[in-house]
Structures are given as structure tokens and as C-alpha cells.
Amino acid sequence: MNYALDGTKLNLLLQFSVIPGREHDWSLVQVALTDITARKKAEAYLEYLGTHDVLTKLYNRSFFVDELNRLDRKGPQPVTVLMVDLNGLKAANDELGHAAGDSLLRRAGEVFSSLVDRPATAARIGGDEFAVLLPATDEKAGEAILETLDDLVEINNQFYPDLTLSLSVGIATSRPGERLEAVVKRADLLMLDAKRQHYSDIAHDRRRRIAVGETATEH
């Protein structure tokens, strides 16, 4: 590592060879310095792509699986898991275009990035699915994180009033001796219940609006 005059970091490859016939005292040596900064940046980016989702800047499913297995082996316990689904992504894509759907995903990434710090991790594990791993976090602390998530979503929606960010969340905390795969399944089932309730509430509100509109028309 070296630095340019303006302070920019430079990665340099140093190579040298002793000129033939001077091996006994190294009195004549050829030295070559090659700037490999661009190569190192490319390597770092490829490494980033291996563990991150480019759109949301969160970790990807591969990293999530590896981290889940690592926590299963080494802890620290208990581990609280949040399984999250982004509501309305398909509708946003179908009605407003994929740019709107991508915007929702990026906003979800912003929320989760603000929610957790290491050693906790947040990952996009599917098209509209996210997961948060909270090591050394009991049920009470997990509920506090859930409240913080609600607050962050509310704040985010204040900046984007034209398209509401909505999440369905399931949360579960590991029990002594329980595999984390089972914890994920428990959280996932709770998330699915929350998602069904979300769309049930939307359908109820839509029927109520139609009923009110029909009554108003009759009068």
C-alpha cells in the first residue's frame, strides 16, 4: 500500500531480480513497481458481489445461510430471527413499473441497514423476502428491535408519501438446544400469518369503500 501526492491509496506490486553475475553481493538489482489499484478494486467488488445483494446493499441469501450455520455452531445464544416480507411489491411492479418496485426494495434496504449493526446481520433472501439475525438477543430485546423497525418504516414513509413501504414480520427466539433452522421456520410461519392478515385487511377496506360508494350513489 502506498499513497499518491493527493492522498489517494495505491496498491503496488513490487518485483525485483538480481542481474545475472551479481548474485554474490546483489550489487545490481532491477526493481519494478506496477500499479494494481484497479485490479484490487475489481477483486474487492467481486468479493462484495459474492456476499451482498446489489440492489438493497444488504447481505444475500448465501451469506445468510453461512451466518445461520456459524451461529448454530458457535453462538452466541440466544438468537432472535426476524423473517420479513415486503408487502405490495408485485402490485407496484404491475401497476407502476419495475422502477417503483426497485425503489421499494432499496428503501427496505435503507431501513434494515439503519436497524442493525454487527454482529447482527440483515439479508435479502428472495425477491421480496428479508431476514434479520440477532445473536445474543432474547425475546424482550427482539421485541424492542421490532418496535424500532416499525419506527424506521414510519420515518421512511414520511420521505416517500407517494408509495407506502409496508412489511409483514415474524419474529422468533431460539430455545435452549433448538436448531436455528427451526427458529427460522417458526418466524417464517408467523410472517405468513401477518401477511395474510395484511391482505385480508386490505380486502376488507376495499369492500367497505365500495359499499360506502354505492350507498352514496343511491342517495
Q: Which of 128, 138, 151, 188 is catalytic?
A: 128
Cell numbers 436497524 correspond to 115
Backbone angles phi, psi at 173, to 5 degrees: -120, 140
* Beta carbons of 86 and 35 less than 8 angstroms apart: no
Backbone angles phi, psi at 123, to 5 degrees: -140, 150
Instruction: Check if 128 is active-site.
Output: yes
Cα 209 to Cα 77, 99, 104, 149, 202: the distances in Å are: 48, 29, 26, 30, 11
SS3 158: helix
For residue 15, what is the enclosing H or E element?
strand 12-18
Cell numbers 414513509 correspond to 157
Active site residues per annotation: 128
